[in-house]
Structure 1
Amino acid sequence: METENGTVVTEFILIGLTQSHAIQLLVFVLSLIFYIIILPGNVFIIITIMSDHGLSAPLYFFLGNLAFLDASYSFIVTPRMLVDIFSEKKVISYKDCITQLFFLHFFGGGEFLLLVVMAFDRYIAICRPLHYSTVMSPRACSVMLLAPWLGGFVHSIIQVVLILRLPFCGPNHVDNFFCDVPQVIKLACTDTFAVELLMIFNSGLLTLVCFLGLLTSYAVILCHVHRSASEGKNKAISTCTTHVIIIFLMFGPAIFIYTRPFTALSVDKVVSFFHTVIFPLLNPVIYTLRNQEVKTSMKRLFIQKIVC
């Protein structure tokens, strides 16, 4: 049945991560472990930061929002993937596919921009400490937080609008376990070269620029810290190192997926699995394990609210 925008296809069939039942079982167990154990951990991080007034610094404010974005991002793909593993026919409607794609890039783009905001926060705190309270005031932090949400929305809506203008008349098999731009575009019944260039510019080039900019900014910060003789030198190095690890985890797979022509490679699904299922849940945990204040506050909250 043909819709108003000329789309004939009303549903897509997800091929999935793999056809091997043994690997599917391994993926299911691994994903479920991460979802059951680490996702509540991320929620606990958010509750800890919200409830502990000692964690009122902008750094922890942004960390709480990072945990929220990561938790929201993990809800987009993982639950459906866990159900689809045991389904013979993995069907997703056209509207659900577009919705999944929108929120995937909305939260993903928002997180990338939030990492830029966090890098700016660390730069001011370490390189301009006398101006920190003025520049990173509560009002300024709230305004800065709007940038990731607004930027993520603009980034995602551009992707969706470009795809909605494409006609889909078959085939309808998406070569992945979720709907994403590279796989969906290839199913369009028209020449998509121009659209692919726009997508690469929108996702790939901006991701690469942000990645290189973040690495440069943290290199400047670490050089400044190395030359200084302040008491908080080790803490600053630990915090910046953690941010750099998270940057590589989030930007590395995104650069691999979106900065090249949308041709299928054998490792695409593996990279997508870690990018959408594993890494988002790990990011706040990695940060927490390297932050003594958050760990201490979480232990105190756990003893007060649960043990006692």
Structure 2
Amino acid sequence: MGTKPESTGEVHKTAVVSPFIKSFAGSIGGVAEAGCLQPMDVIKTRLQLDKAKQYTGIVNCGKQIIAQEGAKSLWKGLTPFATHLTLKYALRMGTNAFYQSLLRDQSGALSDGRRLAAGFAAGITEALIVVTPFEVVKIRLQQQRGLTKELLRYKGPVHAAGLIVKEEGILGLWSGAAPTVMRNGTNQMCLFWAKNNFDRIFFNKEEGDGRTLQPWQSMLSGFSAACLGPVATGPFDVIKTRLMAQQKSDGPARYAGLLDALVKIPREEGILALYRGLLPRLMRIPPGQAIVWAVSDQITGYFENRQHQ
């Protein structure tokens, strides 16, 4: 059940790892996740933008992309996606640890309510600083059809970002910021609270106790914790994708903002349209979090153990 320092009969104090170390651990986990799960993210985006119902499901979408555009198309947007995940997890883990440090009581304890608040604040921070601009670029690249660069509007991440700023202004990179804030805040609120509780329930692991879970244990609790967020935030994710995909060159925007999209999408396409892409999100996010926690727990656990020696 993981490694634990030999007992000396003394009561060990809680080891609080620096936000910088947690930030580093998160960034390494993000690199690992991006390389493994990019195809599922491409499929999720295509399904969310599929108003004409071209795709009948995840497998059909993947097959059509490969048949029409080649297997490499499943890795469209990988550069911004990998950079985005690396920065996002560094910021998420670091700011969550920072907010937790502000909310701990004098003994260093953290209540469930304060843990939820720290996660929500970390999600808002990452949404505004990293997630929104990178996802705008990623989604613009992913919605393009074909492989011939000459026929594509956006030639790559840098070109896409430059063209968006030129045509839509710098705020164009923050299209869909409101639903992204709600999605990420709620996601991280659920994630950090659930991961801490699943560690305790499954493996009797308390934060800062000097134990390091085995990678498979971190993967199990991380996977389980990550299942809550996508279900709770499905509508925000669909609205975010629709808003980010809107381009001024296409004419007047279909959706004026979060509330407008929240009304129009179910009215025009049915309530279930707000949960399009939920299955691929569940196939991508929990496995991704399993990978991230398997890596980051090993790094943070190493430093926790050193504090207990």
Q: Same fold (TM over 0.5)?
A: no
Normalized against structure 1, the TM-score is what? 0.31
TM-score (norm 2): 0.31
